[in-house]
Amino acid sequence: MGPGQPHEAPYVNEQFPVATTAEGLTQYLDQFWGRQRETLSIESSQSIRLIHQSSWYTVVPKALFDPARGLDYLKFNTRLLDNDLVAHDLIEALDLVVVYLPFTNVNNWFFERFGSFTFEHSAAILLRHLLAQSTA
């Protein structure tokens, strides 16, 4: 494909082994990248979108959401560690916030190799999709 021609971005849906450690995830990413590097050939001009899928999330009404209290929203349904970092995705049309624990080591792995990228939780994507379907 030449300059100015549309370029289809590669899509990868890789499922990690269920029982693993944080170190195991990054080792798995290293192995995956070793196998797929040439197939994916990610260019610096392409944007990367990482979707986290885990049960470590909850949905909070936007009116009750306080970013400083992220761990408080999760403490009832997730085992937390002192160093856990919380992320959140706003679902503007529904006035909801998906609060979750991203895989920080995975985010760091992507950042070290590709620079900036976006990430969100699969629950936010599902809610936006369901909203779009219900209003279509």
Number of structural domains, the chain? 1
Q: 56 near 74, Cβ under 8 Å?
A: yes
Beta-bridge mates of residue 87? 100
pLDDT tens, 111-126? 998 888 999 999 999 9
Query: Tell me, what's the pLDDT at 20?
Result: 66
The answer to whether residue 101 is domain-embedded is yes
> How many CB atoms lie under 10 A from the CB of residue 109?
17
The answer to whether residue 122 is domain-embedded is yes
The answer to whether residue 2 is domain-embedded is no
Run of H or E including 8: none
Where does the pLDDT of residue 85 fall: very low under 50, low under 70, confident under 90, or very high at 90 and above?
very high
Q: Residue 82 sits in which domain range?
A: 22-135
Q: 70 near 88, Cβ under 8 Å?
A: yes
The answer to whether residue 92 is domain-embedded is yes
Query: Tell me, what's the pLDDT at 74?
Result: 96
**pTM score:** 0.81
pLDDT tens, 23-47? 788 888 888 888 877 777 776 667 8
Q: What is the CATH number of the domain that holds 69?
A: 3.30.420.250
The answer to whether residue 3 is domain-embedded is no
Query: Tell me, what's the pLDDT at 66?
Result: 98
